Chain A
Amino acid sequence: MITCGIDVGSVSAEAVLLDRSDGKFEISAYVIAPTGGDSQEAAKNVFEKALLKSGFSREMISSIVATGYGRLNIPFATKNITEISCHARGVVNFFPDTKTVIDIGGQDSKVIKLDSKGNPIDFLMNDKCAAGTGRFLEVMAKALDIELTDFAGIFNATHEKVDISSTCTVFAESEIVSLIGHGVEKNRIVKGLVYSITNRIISMVERIGLEEPVCMTGGVAKNTAVVKALEEILDIKINVPMEPQITGALGAALLG
């Protein structure tokens, strides 16, 4: 049986094709692409690309589960399930004992608590505010004129941070422009920004209750500076899957 999971987020869309025939379990193909302005088009696009990559035809797919913010708008999906259940299922696939999932996406972030069977039992979402999401880091990287990929290196190499007091992305941007103007080292600002985003996440983690093992997913999980900062403050080891951006789509395919 071949199932498909499609995760349409506000920034990126993913599709995963899963081959579960003959007791196998294999990711036949996965695709990540920007969502752009049309979530329906984006879903169709990643689905078709995944089919091409895997060599399967549409008829061979027994179920298509849609998840993410655009899940209600995919007419060719057979089912829709929220990204809470899908991320939980996807994570458990990589790290079966996971008890807490931290997902930081382009425009939202969430913390999901799992029971001993890997089922979600509680969750918290922040989708009202850019602080604590990938967008926050993007805006700041632009203001600093530094690549996001350089954050990890700078974070590791810098010892002292400067505190960013603004909690709002817009005001934080003004704040760092002002800091640069006052001659504060960019490296210290980068370090401060990483801690800023982790503070928002930690606030959610504390409300829900931290339980190890913890797994991080979403595009921002690829930013090792953020992962490291979270590990440092929470004093734990955080697992990150090989491709953290597809856990939602993978989970959706597994639940199909």
Chain B
Amino acid sequence: MEQAIDDKPASGITIKGKIGWLCTYTPEEIIIASGFQPSRITGNLKAFRSEGYFPINFCPFIKSSMEDLLAAASDFKGVIFTNSCDGMRRFYDNCRAYIPDLPAFMLDVPHNKNSIAIEHFVSSLKEMLIFLEETGGNKPGIAELEDAIRICSEKRMLLKKLSNRFRDNQASVGVRNYYNILERSMTEDTSAFIKYLRGYLDGPVQDLKSSKEPALNGVMVIGNYINEDRLWSIFDELECTIAAEDMCNSSRYFENITLPSSTAGIIERSGEKDSFSVLLTDIAVRQLYKPQCMRMADLGAKISEIAKNIEKHGIKGVVFLSQKFCDNTLLFYPLLREKLAAMNVPSLFIEIEHNNISAGQIKTRLQAFLEII
């Protein structure tokens, strides 16, 4: 079902090169408006040289990502980091110290969701624009920013459609294939990818299971950045149906389309007068109010979000997947487990190391969990 992706954009705009990003709180809209192609750094290489910069007990995804940058910094015109966690903060520092020719920017993302936080984030986004300009980008006007917002929204809507199809008819998409497509959505040229995904969604649906009933043993996967081919293949092999998800490389990337109704009026109340700042505020609010990462302050809201999801999709069990050493995610589990126990929903806890998983052990655990539920 795969089509060759043409790296040249559909429109006539010359792309100035790739800007790498690491965290979904980085608005791609701003990168695109400045004339760059956003491309997520996905930790492809196994950590080797990067082990020399970080201690042993450190996020394996960051170590792999550092390895990617050490190997191919010249692929990027610059990289946007965020202060999503302690690891990322030190990753940024090590990148600046040991890959000095790669321009790097730290996007300051607040942990709270209120008017001060919005003002804080808008201020950070303005600095990001300056960085991109200094790195050779354009200074975008309202039109460029609106265009960029539109194209990003379109991509997200298509991904949401894909996600819905995946949920309703997993066999037609395949777990491993689904996450592969998601990875491509974060790394490839935006226009070209939109074209591809439109084609994929409009094409014939491979119906291995013609039933549209919700799966009997639907699980919800919750985690951080989990993109292991071998891991997702296990879900395919065991025919484990993923009926809902909350992951950094899927839902937290594209569930950022419209503002929730609870935020009505926030943008007006923000006091921003000029249209450009209003657009930035729109971006900031959508980012802060989307289904949130575990690093955000209000974990209670996150638990409620998940509980609603579980009820909505009749979830039978939760598979909790975390990179080793991720304090933000791992410390969420005690809270989540307590809530799930109250809802009588069993959970499976799996800790993995990016690019270094023990597939056999994971298969046993997942198989046993499916036998239980």
Contact = CB atoms under 8 A, between A and B. Distances in A.
A69 B361 CA distance: 8
B263 interface: no
Contact of A121 (B363, B364, B365, B372): B372
Contacts of A109: none
Contacts of B372: 84-85, 119-123
B202 interface: no
Nearest to B364: A82
A127 to B, nearest CB: 6
A120 B371 contact: yes
A127 B368 CA distance: 15
Contacts of A123: 368, 372
Contact of B346 (A72, A85, A122, A128): A122
B368 A69 contact: no
Contacts of A121: 346, 372
A125 interface: yes
Given A121-B346, A122-B346, A85 B360 contact: no
Contacts of A152: none
B367 interface: yes
A81 interface: yes
A70 to B, nearest CB: 10
Contacts of A120: 368, 371-372
Interface in A36-91: 69, 72, 81-85
Interface in B339-373: 346, 360-361, 363-365, 367-368, 371-372
A85 B368 contact: yes
Contacts of B367: 81-82
Contacts of A125: 361, 364-365
A177 B364 CA distance: 36
Dominant secondary structure at the A interface = mixed
Contacts of A128: 361
B346 A84 contact: no
A81 B346 CA distance: 19
B247 to A, nearest CB: 23
Contacts of A119: 372
A101 to B, nearest CB: 12
B371 A69 contact: no
Nearest to A209: B341
Interface residues of A, number: 15
A23 to B, nearest CB: 27
A120 B364 CA distance: 14
Contacts of A81: 367, 371
Nearest to B370: A82
Nearest to A82: B368
A119 B372 CA distance: 7
Contacts of B371: 81-82, 84-85, 120
Contacts of B368: 82-85, 120, 123
B365 to A, nearest CB: 6
Interface string A83-126: 11100000000000000000000000000000000011111010
Contacts of B346: 121-122
Contacts of A127: 361
Contacts of B363: 72
A129 to B, nearest CB: 12
A121 B373 CA distance: 8
A69 B360 contact: yes
Interface in B49-68: none
Contacts of A72: 360, 363
A122 B369 CA distance: 8
In the complex, which of the residues A82, A122, A125, A127 has the most CB atoms of chain B within 10 Å of its own CB atom?
A: A82
A119 B367 CA distance: 15
A113 to B, nearest CB: 10
Contacts of B360: 69, 72
A256 B361 CA distance: 23
A168 to B, nearest CB: 14
Contacts of B361: 125, 127-128
Interface string B319-352: 0000000000000000000000000001000000
A83 B363 CA distance: 12
A128 B364 CA distance: 13
A72 B237 CA distance: 12
Central interface residue in B361, B371, B372, by most chain A CB within 10 Å? B372
A83 B367 CA distance: 10
B331 to A, nearest CB: 15
B372 to A, nearest CB: 5
A232 to B, nearest CB: 29
B261 to A, nearest CB: 38
Nearest to A81: B371
Nearest to A125: B365
A120 B88 CA distance: 40
23 contacts: A69-B360, A69-B364, A72-B360, A72-B363, A81-B367, A82-B368, A82-B371, A83-B364, A84-B368, A84-B371, A119-B372, A120-B368, A120-B371, A120-B372, A121-B346, A121-B372, A122-B346, A122-B372, A125-B361, A125-B364, A125-B365, A127-B361, A128-B361
Interface of A: 69, 72, 81-85, 119-123, 125, 127-128
4 A-B pairs with least C-beta separation = A84-B368, A82-B368, A85-B371, A82-B367
Given A82-B367, A84-B371, A122-B372, 18 more contacts: A69-B360, A69-B364, A72-B363, A81-B367, A83-B364, A83-B368, A84-B368, A84-B372, A85-B368, A85-B372, A120-B368, A120-B371, A121-B372, A123-B368, A123-B372, A125-B364, A125-B365, A128-B361
